[in-house]
């Protein structure tokens, strides 16, 4: 199996001046979030809009995924969809990130930068996109099969999506946030998958990442109590091998150290009185 290498990046895509820009764009880091953990009705309404735009943008990108299509072409599609709907692609200019979505192919765990590499038959590719509109973010990702994919990779993708579904069902007010990681890790262990530890889910809403950490592995130290009105992502990353990782010179692209394949799925959630509402559905 061919190990990925960086390819050429296209110039940064423009966003119309009429679209509101997050405060962190082209700054070294975002302003730390110091607002409430329980979202207001107005914030939740705006997040439903942002989440739907992100989910529909993902659908638009999915329709173009095929052997021979470059990840940069996928970025162009996602970028155009988000801005055409009056939103800003949250990753563009976030801590210097140069593109409007992330494309993580095969052994890339997360944060792969779209470039000139064409997708190949048998690849798997995760697409992670976030939309910012009316002061809030909606964040989602999925892993897709490219052409004829081997059974081991196909099952990894299918089971990673199932791990996310199980974790979402476990979210209830009054439980500790660690329930998420406990459910994901216990399911992944059935198949001998690695559960990535160093990249996690996070609080999201008015801030892209608001300080809440949502681990995907079992660790009782993460004892934040889940409350109605909280919003956060769950985004498990499962591997066929090692969870140790290398970072490309671009400062973003994280690959499994043994170059084993890895898959990820993500939704933005709102905690309700009885469970969780998925805000990133199309």
pTM: 0.97
pLDDT in tens, 147-203: 999 999 999 999 999 999 999 999 999 999 999 999 999 999 999 999 999 999 999
Closest CA to 137 of 23, 227, 60, 251: 23
CA 77 – CA 100 distance, rounded (Å): 10
CA-derived radius of gyration, the chain: 18
pLDDT in tens, 14-30: 999 999 999 999 999 99
């Amino acid at each position: 199996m061919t190990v990925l290498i960086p390819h050429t990046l296209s110039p940064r895509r423009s966003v119309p001046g009429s679209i509101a820009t997050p405060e962190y764009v082209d700054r070294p880091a975002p302003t730390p979030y110091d607002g409430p953990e329980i979202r207001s009705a107005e914030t939740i309404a705006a997040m439903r809009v942002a989440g739907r735009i992100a989910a529909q943008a993902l659908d638009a990108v999915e329709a173009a995924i095929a052997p021979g299509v470059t990840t940069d072409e996928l970025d162009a599609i996602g970028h155009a969809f988000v801005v055409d709907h009056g939103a800003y692609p949250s990753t563009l200019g976030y801590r210097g990130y140069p593109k409007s979505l992330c494309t993580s192919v095969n052994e890339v765990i997360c944060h792969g930068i779209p470039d000139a590499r064409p997708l190949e038959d048998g690849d798997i590719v995760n697409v992670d996109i976030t939309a910012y509109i009316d002061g809030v973010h909606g964040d989602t990702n999925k892993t897709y099969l490219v052409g004829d994919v081997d059974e081991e990779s196909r099952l990894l993708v299918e089971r990673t999506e199932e791990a996310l579904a199980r974790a979402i069902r476990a979210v209830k007010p009054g439980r500790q946030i660690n329930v998420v990681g406990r459910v994901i890790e216990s399911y992944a262990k059935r198949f001998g998958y690695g559960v990535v530890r160093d990249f996690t889910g996070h609080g999201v809403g008015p801030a892209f990442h608001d300080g809440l950490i949502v681990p995907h592995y079992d660790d009782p130290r993460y004892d934040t109590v889940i409350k109605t009105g909280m919003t956060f992502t769950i985004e498990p990353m499962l591997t066929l091998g090692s969870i140790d990782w290398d970072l490309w010179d671009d400062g973003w692209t994280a690959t499994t150290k043994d170059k084993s394949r890895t898959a990820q799925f993500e939704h933005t959630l709102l905690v309700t009185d009885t469970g969780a509402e998925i805000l990133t559905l199309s």
